[in-house]
Amino acid sequence: MVLLLYGLASMIGNLAGGKLLSNHTMKTVTSFPIALGIVYLLSFLTGKLTVSMIITIMIWGIFFAIGHMICQYWITSAIPEALDFANGLFLSCGNLGITIGTAVGGLFISGMGTPYIVLGGLLFLILSLLSILLKIYMFRPTRQHSS
């Protein structure tokens, strides 16, 4: 039942993510890791409380969908002339991310216990925020000085 609610919440996330990316692209992209980090912390705090955790999982479902939309937007806007390649790269990197995330999450579980897998997620959110800020910094438009 909770997985069904998660799926329904992700449908809401698709609608919200499309609207957010259309109207506030950079704000959505840069604030996403922070917002998802808050959801991770909520899951850590509500993990033993059934009703609260179900609500947290639904919020997580919304952000899950928004995150996928951001990734798809980010990769296709980077190389709009090669969308097939961009989609292939998106899928390959997603699979690689799942593999690495699973391994790191397993290390947190084996070393600290199941509730602390959230720390692995937070680690990757910090890395994603740093890479977003680096991309923004590296590819910002340069100002030409008039002489």
Please give the pLDDT value at position 3: 93
**Three-state DSSP state, 47:** coil
Please give the pLDDT value at position 71: 87
- Compute the average pLDDT of residues 24-45: 92
Please give the pLDDT value at position 146: 53
- Between 22-36, 46-60, 99-113, 131-145, the lowest mean confidence (pLDDT) is in 131-145
**Residue 96, amino acid:** L
Distance of CA 106 to the CA centre of its chain: 19
Please give the pLDDT value at position 74: 83
Rounded to two decimals, the pTM is 0.77
Mean residue pLDDT across the chain:
89
- Compute the average pLDDT of residues 42-68: 92
**Residue 44, amino acid:** F
Q: How many residues does the chain have?
A: 147
Structure tokens, 21: 């990316």
